[in-house]
Structure 1
Amino acid sequence: MQCHEGMFCCNRFREAAGLSCSLGQQMACAQHELIRLAEHAPAGVSRFHRALLETFPVNPDWVVMAAAHAGTLDVFIRDSALHCAALSTKTIRNEFRIRIAGYLSADQLDQFDQLMSAEWSRLRST
């Protein structure tokens, strides 16, 4: 399965043949792939979270729900904090945080904030 922004289908062979899927179908495939990775290849979960955040940039709330459903929420918190810290403006970072905040507990949101702040500082210190 491939995920990238602007894709028409996560199956590269279908995409090469000019076939496409709806956004809902793409998200369903992505959720199944995340569950599969969590069960059979957990080392690939972080990479896939990052790909999902890049592929569905206006839907971080969907990605956090998929992570919760797949049992990868703790990994998602770290991955999303790193992703958020790299966003270009404070406004965009705040919007991202607001979109995922309702799906996290207070402790999880605090962990996200700490990780995001540390990564933001690291990225801007060079």
Structure 2
Amino acid sequence: MKVLKVKLTTANKTDDQIKARYDAEISQKEIENFKTAFDLVDGLEIGVIPSQFDEGSYVVVGWHKDNDHIMRDFVYHMEQDPYFGSYVDDREAFLEDWNNNEYEPAGSLSFEKEDIEVLEDNPHV
């Protein structure tokens, strides 16, 4: 599968941009949490592959170890989703699992086409 090195362009999302990503109604608290998560990773360079299930979506396959704390905090914010999150309001358990390499997301971490700028095809991520 073709790996792409991309730069995330995820800052300053509007409420409507956040809402458009979800099929169900989400609260203002959830919107603000997602905005925080996306702002955290803006400008980060990561490795992705095109999703096999959602055209225009890219699945995260890796990031530089120096950015692990940024991705960790992004993932924790994404875990606050009341429907799919496994660590809602439980940062301690999340950090324990993350630090012990036991964290497993309920689904894949992905970004939309408009959230990325392709820097390289087939890099050594």
TM-score by structure 2 length?
0.28
Higher relative contact order structure (alpha carbons within 8 Å, sequence separation ≥ 6): 2
Decide which structure has greater strand share.
2
Larger Rg: 1
